[in-house]
Amino acid sequence: MKEIHLDIRILSVSYDELDDRERALINAAKEATARSYSPYSKFAVGAAALLANGVTVTGSNQENAAYPSGTCAERTTLFYANSQYPDQPVLMLAIAARNASGFVSTPITPCGACRQVLLETEKRSGQPVRILLYGEKNIYILPGVKTLLPLSFGAEFLPAQEQATGT
């Protein structure tokens, strides 16, 4: 028997330790929570993606009375980014969340489905997405989705196929 150790490292930083670009993206994610449609959970989540061409796109969670029909802020944002700018790698994704008492003090992390969509986003562009998770007390910086989704399932497990064209 062999034990396999997975080494996962994330940074915990303060707002002051961020650079200007990171601060702007976090601010955009926080602002995006104002456009959340979350009458059921009352938990407003915002996300902001910085694309390689310098464009920032934002999104928020959009809920539905038929609960599973709603979607998270991360997927709203990534699907919008990938559909409007299919050739632009997503460099960074910032996520912020607030409840009735304000922004969460410890960062929330993306759900499993959003992690899988982040993985596909990275695979499409061939580069990692730096992930910034906002909390009032601290901010986590993750170098890519691997830290959130080790042992992931990707296209490499599927039968060999023609080079994907993306269409």
Rounded-to-integer distance, Cα 107 and Cα 82, Å: 25
For residue 46, CA distances in Å to 58, 87, 150, 151 come to 7, 23, 24, 27
Binding mask of the shown chain, residues 98 to 137, with x at each position contacting ligand THU by CB under 6 A: ----------x-xx--x-----------------------
Judged by CB under 6 A, the residue of 74, 78, 104, 145 near ligand THU is: 74
By the rule CB under 6 A, 43 interacts with ligand THU = yes
Asked whether the beta carbons of 91 and 24 are under 8 A apart, the reply is no
Q: Which of residues 53-72 bind ligand THU (CB under 6 A)?
A: 61, 63, 70, 72
By the rule CB under 6 A, 147 interacts with ligand THU = no
State which amino acid sits at residue 122.
Answer: E
Q: Which two tokens stand for residue 107?
A: 């960062």
Min. distance of Cβ 55 from ligand THU in angstroms?
A: 21
Q: Which among 38, 103, 51 is positioned nearest to 78, based on CA atoms?
A: 51
Min. distance of Cβ 71 from ligand THU in angstroms?
A: 7
Rounded-to-integer distance, Cα 90 and Cα 122, Å: 8
Min. distance of Cβ 92 from ligand THU in angstroms?
A: 16
Rounded-to-integer distance, Cα 92 and Cα 48, Å: 8
Query: Annotated catalytic, 17?
Result: no
22, 63, 74, 122: the active-site residue: 74
Question: Cβ closer to ligand THU: 45 or 94?
Answer: 45
Rounded-to-integer distance, Cα 134 and Cα 12, Å: 10
Binding site for ligand THU (CB under 6 A): 38, 41, 43, 45, 61, 63, 70, 72-74, 108, 110-111, 114
